Every structure is written in structure tokens, then in C-alpha cells.
């Protein structure tokens, strides 16, 4: 149900040109008005996308709810699920996000098998870390081995899918530089390039920036292991 209400509700009309029948069933069950005309459905049918860009950071794990909701409660998707924490999972504790590189392979193969292997690319993928200055060496270079590991593992998983015929054409890392968030400003740093807010916003390459440069130039990927804490 989570997949229906958070993934297929967008992917199906965009790629297949129609909403899932299960969606109409859920809306009808909860008496949620959804007015539309055949002409509007035809517009959706005739205007599917040629290309997809998908943000992939972490998996969302859910299970059946352990408790039944009050039947008078207005509809919400969580009526059908509750969040689930996988035992032993690796975590980015700065963001509270699970680190699961296989998300790349799983999404790529799903698009191949369920959505006609539509051309697509990873529009966002990256690792935000709080108080990253603590990882600076004596020269001020951020030694972000964790980011190198994150990127290399996710790229490796994505390449596995490409080798099996998935039609992924690119990977856009979030982000080139540390960037401001509308939610928490510079709290979490994502960039290959450090922005030093204490030194006139001076820019400098992190260790991951040098690594990413070499990756692009050599076109050779070696997975770097890291123990996340």
C-alpha cells in the first residue's frame, strides 16, 4: 500500500499514462472524492514522459500496522502501514537515514521490468554529515572517507543493474559544494567541495573531491569500505 500511495501514484501516470486501478479502489473505499473526465484521462494517456529523473537516498521500510486505527479517523496513508527499522542496518546518524546501496539496483531493475525500461538517471544521491569540520586534517582538508564509501557503493550497485540491461544513463551527485538547505541551512554538509563559513566562505576540495575527480578521469571504480558510526 505504501508503494501504491507514494510511488506508483506518480510513476504509473507518468510512464504508463494511467493511474493504478488499486488507487481508485482505495479512494472509493474511503469515500474520497476524485472527480475527473475521460478527456482528462486521455490527456494523461497521450502525454507520458520520455525520460525520468529519480532522487535516491535511502529506502523506506514499512510493515502492517500493529494497531487498528479508529474507523472515524480521516483517511491517511499510514492507516495501512507503520515504519519498520531493519535490525543491523547501517545508518547515517546525521540524517537518520539508512545506508542501503542496493536501492540503486532495486530501482533500476524495477524500472526495467515494470516500466518498459524507460531511460532514466539518478537526479540526486548523496550523504549529508553534521559538524563535518571535525574530520579536517592539519591542512584543513576534510577526510570524508565515509562519503567516498557511500558514493562508490551506490555507483557499484547501479552499475550492476546497468550490466544487466537497466536503462540508467547517468548519476548526479548531491552535491558539488556544501549547500544551504531551506530547512536547516548548513547543518548537514553534502559537498565534494567544502565551504568554510568561518573563513569568508573559502572553497576547498574535500578528500572525496579528489577521489571523484580521479574516478571521472580514470573511469575505474573501486568500492571503498567504511564502518559508519
> Is residue 172 situated within a structural domain?
yes
Read off the pLDDT of residues 185-194 as tens digits, 9 standing for 90 and up: 999 999 999 9
Give me the phi and psi of 76, to 5 degrees please.
-150, 145
> Is residue 106 situated within a structural domain?
yes
Q: What is the mean pLDDT of the chain?
A: 95
> Is residue 71 situated within a structural domain?
no
Give me the phi and psi of 205, to 5 degrees please.
-70, 135
> Is residue 14 situated within a structural domain?
no
> Is residue 107 situated within a structural domain?
yes
Q: Which residue, among 28, 27, 57, has the nearest Cα to 172 in the 3D structure?
A: 57
pLDDT at 62 over 60: yes
Q: What is the CATH number of the domain that holds 157?
A: 3.20.20.80
Enclosing domain of residue 131: 52-57+90-218
pLDDT at site 34? 82
Read off the pLDDT of residues 69-79 as tens digits, 9 standing for 90 and up: 888 888 889 99
> Is residue 160 situated within a structural domain?
yes
C-alpha cell at 123: 537526479
Q: Which residues of 157-170 are buried (b: 16+ CB within 10 A; e: fewer)?
A: bbbbbeeeebbbee
| Total domains, the chain | 1
> Is residue 42 situated within a structural domain?
no
Give me the phi and psi of 114, to 5 degrees please.
-110, -15
pLDDT at 116 over 80: yes
Give the helix ranges, DSSP H, for 82-172: 102-114, 145-163
Read off the pLDDT of residues 64-106 as tens digits, 9 standing for 90 and up: 999 888 888 888 899 999 999 999 999 999 999 999 999 999 9
> Is residue 72 situated within a structural domain?
no
Amino acid at each position: 500500500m505504501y508503494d501504491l500511495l507514494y510511488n506508483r501514484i506518480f510513476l504509473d501516470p507518468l510512464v504508463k499514462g494511467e493511474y493504478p486501478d488499486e488507487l481508485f479502489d482505495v479512494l472509493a473505499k474511503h469515500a474520497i472524492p476524485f472527480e475527473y473526465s475521460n478527456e482528462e484521462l486521455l490527456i494523461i494517456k497521450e502525454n507520458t514522459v520520455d525520460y525520468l529523473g529519480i532522487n535516491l537516498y535511502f529506502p523506506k521500510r514499512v510493515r502492517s500496522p500493529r494497531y487498528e486505527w479508529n474507523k472515524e479517523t480521516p483517511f491517511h496513508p499510514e492507516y495501512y502501514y507503520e515504519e519498520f527499522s531493519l535490525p543491523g542496518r547501517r545508518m547515517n546518524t546525521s540524517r537518520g537515514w539508512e545506508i542501503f546501496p542496493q536501492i540503486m539496483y532495486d530501482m533500476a531493475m524495477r524500472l526495467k521490468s515494470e516500466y518498459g525500461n524507460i531511460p532514466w538517471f539518478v537526479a540526486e544521491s548523496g550523504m549529508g554529515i553534521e559538524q563535518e569540520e571535525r574530520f579536517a586534517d592539519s591542512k584543513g582538508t576534510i577526510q570524508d572517507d565515509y562519503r567516498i564509501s557511500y558514493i562508490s557503493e551506490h555507483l557499484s550497485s547501479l552499475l550492476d543493474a546497468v550490466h544487466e540491461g537497466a536503462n540508467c544513463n547517468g548519476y548526479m551527485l548531491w552535491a558539488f559544494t556544501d549547500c544551504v538547505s531551506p530547512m536547516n541551512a548548513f547543518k548537514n554538509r553534502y559537498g565534494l567541495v567544502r565551504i568554510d563559513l568561518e573563513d569568508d566562505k573559502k572553497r576547498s576540495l574535500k578528500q572525496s573531491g579528489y577521489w571523484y575527480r580521479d574516478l571521472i578521469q580514470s573511469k575505474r571504480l573501486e568500492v571503498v569500505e567504511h564502518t559508519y558510526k
